[in-house]
Structure 1
Amino acid sequence: MGAITVTKLGKAYKQYPTRWARLAEWLLPFSGQQHKLKWILQDIEFRVAPGEAVGLIGVNGAGKSTLLKLITGTTQPTTGSVYMEGRVAALLELGMGFHPDFTGRQNVIMAGQLLGLRVDEIHALMPEIEAFAEIGDYIDQPVRVYSSGMQMRLAFSVATARRPDILIVDEALSVGDTYFQHKSFERIRQYRAAGTTLLLVSHDKQAIQSVCDRAILLDAGRLSRQGPPEEIMDYYNAMIAERENATVRVEELDDGKKQTTSGTGEATVSSIALLDESGAPVEVVDVGAEVTLQVTVTARAAIPRMVLGYMIKDRLGQTMYGTNTDLKQLPLNDVQPGSQTVYRFRFPMNLGAGTYSVATAIVSTDTHLVNNYEWRDLALVFTVVNMRRPHFEGSAFLDPAIEIQHP
C-alpha cells in the first residue's frame, strides 16, 4: 500500500535583473545577492493515505504541474520534503521519457525500466501493453510519427501495465479520445478497488467527483482548500466565475454539507421548492412522477437581461440535467429593482432512486462567466424513491417498450 506525505513544500526560482547580475553572483560570491526569489509554491502540506484517491485542481498557473514534479522527484524542492511509500507510476507530461527516433516498442522497454521493471518482465507484459494501447502496427514505428493521442495511449499503457502502489496522473489523459478516456478511467477504478493510492490532476469535474475521495484546491501556489470533491469543485467553479474570492461565500448547512454561493447579489433566489401535481411542496418524489420546480427570484438592482438556469446533480455532484431560460429562448429584459419573478419548470422525475440536489444560476447569457448575479449550489435537496416501477439500475428512468420476435 502506498502513501504520500508532503511537508512544508515550496519551490522558488531565482530571477536576475540582467544576465550580468547572474554572472556577478557567480564570479563575485561575496558581492552580495543579485537575485530575487520567484515563489511558485509555498507551504504546501497534505497527506494521501494508503488506498485513498485525491484530486488536485486549480486554474492554469496555480502550480499543479510543479507540485507533481516535486512529488515524483523530477524537480527538487526549495523548502520542505516529500515522502512516498511503495512503487510509484507517474503519467505527467505527454510522452515524457519517450525518444522520438525510437519505436514505440523500444520506448516501452526503456520506460518500463524507469518504472522499475526488469527487461524480462517488460517482454512478458508487452502483449498486454500493445492490446491496451490499441495503436496497431504503429508500435514498431518511430514515436515522432505518433499523434498526441497515440503517445498518451502508449504512455498510459506502460505506466499501468502492472498495478502500482501509487498512481500519479496529470492532465495528459485529456488529449485522448472519449473511448480511451473511458477505458483508462475504468482501469484506474479497478486499481483503486485493489488498493492503489491515486493522485489525479484534472479539470474534469465528473472525473474528480466519480473517482476521488477528496479534492485539493491550489490557488496562486498555495493550498487554498481541501475537502469532499463536490464541495471543492463547487468552490472552484465559483472562483473561476468571479475571478476574485471576495464574492465567493461558503455556508455550512444543517446537514453538515457546505453550500457555495457566488455573484454580485444584484438578483437572488429568495425561495425554491419542488411541488407535486397538486402544487404541494415535497422532499420525496416517486420515480416518474410529474413535478414542478418553482423558483422565485428577487431583483435588488436593475437587470438589463436576466436568465435563470438550474442543474440537477446526484449525491456525487455529477450533473444529471441542466438548462436555462436563454437556451429555452425565454430571457427577461429590463427587470426592475424590487421585482419578484416566479419561474415554474414542469417535468417528469425520470431519475433513479437516490438523493439529488439543485443548483441555480442567475446570469445575463447562457453562461455565468459574463454577468454572474448569483450562483447557488445545494439550493434544494430532494430524494427520489421507487414505489411503483419495476426495479431498475442506474440514475435515469428510461423504461423501454420491449418487442421480442421469437421463431
Structure 2
Amino acid sequence: MKAVVLQVQNVGKSFRDYGSEWRRFGSWFGMHSSNVKDHWVLRNISFAVHAGEALGIVGQNGAGKSTLLKIITGTLGATEGTVRASGRVAAILELGMGFDPDLTGRQNSEHVAGLMGFSRAEIRTLLPRIEAFAEVGAYFDEPVRTYSSGMQMRVAFSLATASRPDVLIVDEALAVGDAYFVHKCFKRIREFRDEGTTLLIVSHDKSAVQALCDRAVMIDRGRLVADGSPQEVLDFYNALISEKENSTVRQSRQEDGAAVTVSGTGEAVIDSIWLEDAAGQRVEFVGVGDPVDLVIRVRVESALARLVVGYVIRDRLGQAVFGTNSFYTDQVIENAQTGDQFEFRARFPVNLGVGTYSFSVALSSTETHLVNNYEWRDLALVFTVANTQRTTFVGMAWIQPQITISPCGRADASVTRIGAGQEARVPDGRSPS
C-alpha cells in the first residue's frame, strides 16, 4: 500500500452572516447576537489520497468543490476538521490567482515562484522553462492586464508545473485554453503521474476525469455523496443532474462488482436489451467490423405525448464513443398509450478497436434526458470486440485505410510486401537494421 500524501478529515466550512457591520464589529470583542447565522458550504468531508493516485472531484456548480480545494491548498481556513498534506503542493485554482495585473508575466512568475518557496537560483533556472512552455512570445514581458484568459492560463499552468510537484491540484483552469495547449497540458500531467505525482482535478469534462483519474469523489450540496471508480461516480453524477429532486436514482452492483446506475420517472421503462449478429443470434462477443443489431424493448407505463429512445456506446473508461437517438433520426414516437410496447433496433458495423464496451440507454421526451427523464440506464449491456479477421491495428476505432506507397526520388526504389517467412529489403539489397 502506497503512503497517504493527503488526508482530509471531517472538513467543514461555514461563512457567518452577521446581518450588519455593527454585529461583525461587536463579535471581535466577544459580543454575541441571536441574529448571526452560519451558512455551511461544506460539512463532514473525509477522504485520503495515496502517492501517485489521481483523484477527480465532481459536482454541480455551487457544490463546494472550489472551496474544498482552497482549504486543501491553505488559501482558505476550515471551520472544522483537518487537512494534512506531505511534500510540495502546486495548485492552479482561480485563473490568474496571485498575479498582479500591472506586472509582466516574467515578473509575476518570479514573484509567485518565490511565494511557492523556490530560491532565487532555482527561479533563474525555472524562468526559461516557464517562458518556453507557455508560448506567449513577447507577451511574457508585457503586463498581465493585456493578456487574454487563455494566455493567463498558459503562464499559470507553466508556472505551477515548471518543477514536478508531489501533489498537483487543477481546478477547471484548463477549460479556457485552446485545444493545442490543453493537449500539451494533459501530456505534462500524464508525465508527472508516471513519475509519481499525486493529482487532484476538478473538471466538468467527464472525459478528462475518466482518462486521467484512478478514482473520483462527488460533492453535492456541501457533502461527500460518492467515492469510487470514475465511471461509477460519473454515472451517479449524470443521474443526479437529470433528477433535480434526486428521488429516483438507484445504484446496484452486478456480479462482477460494476455499479449500474438507473434513474427516471418510470413512465416508460426498458424491458430488455441485447445484441444480435447477422444471423439473428444473440451475442456478447463480436468481431471488428462485423454487422450487429442493438435491440431495445420498451414498455410504456403511463400515456406519453412523445417518446424518444437513445443510446451511447462507451469504452471501458466510460468515455462516449458514439451516441444517437430517435429524435436526431426523426423517428419520435407520439401519443404512446399505457401498456404499449416498442422494439427499437439499430443496425451498424462494429468499427471499434479490440476491447470491452458498454451501452448507456435513455428514454426521454426530447433529444436530452435532462428535460423528461423516463429512464436512464448506464451499463445496460456490456460486450467485447475481438479482432479475428482484420489487419492488425491499434486504437479505439477501426478506420481501414487504402494505403499506397510509390517512390518520389530514385527511380530504382521499390516497396516490398512482407509475407510469411519473407524479409523486408531496402533498394540496394541490404537487410534493414
- Asked whether the two chains share a fold, i.e. TM above 0.5, the reply is yes
**Residue 366 (str. 1) matches residue 367 (str. 2):** yes
Q: In the alignment, what sits opposite 1:71?
A: 72
**Residue 397 (str. 1) matches residue 395 (str. 2):** no
- Return the offset for 1:257: 0.5
1:102-113 matched pairs, under 5 angstroms: 102-113=103-114
- Closer, same or farther in 2 for the Cα pair 1:31/1:192, shift >3 Å? closer
- Return the offset for 1:176: 0.8
Q: In the alignment, what sits opposite 2:22?
A: 20
- Return the offset for 1:32: 5.0
**Residue 6 (str. 1) matches residue 4 (str. 2):** no
Work out whether residues 22 and 34 of structure 1, in 8 Å CA contact, stay in contact via their aligned partners in 2. Answer: no
Q: In the alignment, what sits opposite 1:90?
A: 91
Q: Which 10-residue stretch deviates more, 226-235 or 104-113?
A: 104-113
SS of 2:289's partner is: coil
Work out whether residues 358 and 381 of structure 1, in 8 Å CA contact, stay in contact via their aligned partners in 2. Answer: yes
Amino acid at match of 1:345: A
- Return the offset for 1:125: 2.2
Q: Distance in 2 between matches of 1:109 and 1:391?
A: 51
- Return the offset for 1:25: 3.6
Give deviations 1:305-354, integer Å, cap 9, x for gaps: 11111000011001110011111111111111111100110000000000
- Closer, same or farther in 2 for the Cα pair 1:351/1:212, shift >3 Å? same
- Return the offset for 1:17: 3.0
- Return the offset for 1:54: 0.2
Q: Distance in 2 between matches of 1:132 and 1:33?
A: 54
Give deviations 1:190-231, integer Å, cap 9, x for gaps: 100110000101011000000001001001111111100001
Work out whether residues 359 and 378 of structure 2, in 8 Å CA contact, stay in contact via their aligned partners in 1. Answer: yes
Amino acid at match of 1:201: V
- Return the offset for 1:26: 4.0
Work out whether residues 310 and 363 of structure 2, in 8 Å CA contact, stay in contact via their aligned partners in 1. Answer: yes
Work out whether residues 293 and 346 of structure 1, in 8 Å CA contact, stay in contact via their aligned partners in 2. Answer: yes
- Closer, same or farther in 2 for the Cα pair 1:38/1:166, shift >3 Å? same
Q: In the alignment, what sits opposite 2:236?
A: 235
Amino acid at match of 1:406: P
Q: In the alignment, what sits opposite 2:288?
A: 287
Give deviations 1:235-256, integer Å, cap 9, x for gaps: 0011011112211110111211
- Closer, same or farther in 2 for the Cα pair 1:30/1:314, shift >3 Å? closer
SS of 2:247's partner is: helix
- Return the offset for 1:31: 5.5
Where does structure 2 lack aligned partners over 5 or more consecutive residues? 409-433
Q: Distance in 2 between matches of 1:276 and 1:99?
A: 63
Give deviations 1:13-45, integer Å, cap 9, x for gaps: 111233333344445x35655512111111111
SS of 1:203's partner is: coil
- Return the offset for 1:127: 2.2
Amino acid at match of 1:99: D
1:58-207 matched pairs, under 5 angstroms: 58-207=59-208
Q: Distance in 2 between matches of 1:123 and 1:231?
A: 45
Amino acid at match of 2:146: V
Q: Distance in 2 between matches of 1:26 and 1:396?
A: 64
Q: Which 10-residue stretch deviates more, 155-164 or 1-10?
A: 1-10
TM-score (norm 1): 0.97
Work out whether residues 10 and 44 of structure 2, in 8 Å CA contact, stay in contact via their aligned partners in 1. Answer: yes
Work out whether residues 55 and 216 of structure 2, in 8 Å CA contact, stay in contact via their aligned partners in 1. Answer: yes
Work out whether residues 115 and 159 of structure 1, in 8 Å CA contact, stay in contact via their aligned partners in 2. Answer: no
Q: Distance in 2 between matches of 1:31 and 1:297?
A: 61
- Return the offset for 1:156: 0.1
Q: Distance in 1 between matches of 2:179 and 2:218?
A: 26
Bigger-Rg structure (1/2): 2
Work out whether residues 105 and 139 of structure 2, in 8 Å CA contact, stay in contact via their aligned partners in 1. Answer: yes
User: CA RMSD, aligned part only?
Assistant: 1.3
Where does structure 1 lack aligned partners over 5 or more consecutive residues? none
Q: Distance in 1 between matches of 2:107 and 2:28?
A: 41
**Residue 347 (str. 1) matches residue 339 (str. 2):** no
Give deviations 1:53-92, integer Å, cap 9, x for gaps: 0000111111111100100000111111110010111111
Q: Distance in 2 between matches of 1:31 and 1:13?
A: 16
Amino acid at match of 2:331: L
Give deviations 1:282-324, integer Å, cap 9, x for gaps: 0000000010101111111111011111000011001110011
SS of 2:234's partner is: helix
SS of 1:246's partner is: coil
Amino acid at match of 2:72: I
Give deviations 1:138-171, integer Å, cap 9, x for gaps: 0010000000000000000010011100001111
Amino acid at match of 1:238: A
Q: Distance in 1 between matches of 2:158 and 2:225?
A: 33
Work out whether residues 23 and 33 of structure 2, in 8 Å CA contact, stay in contact via their aligned partners in 1. Answer: no
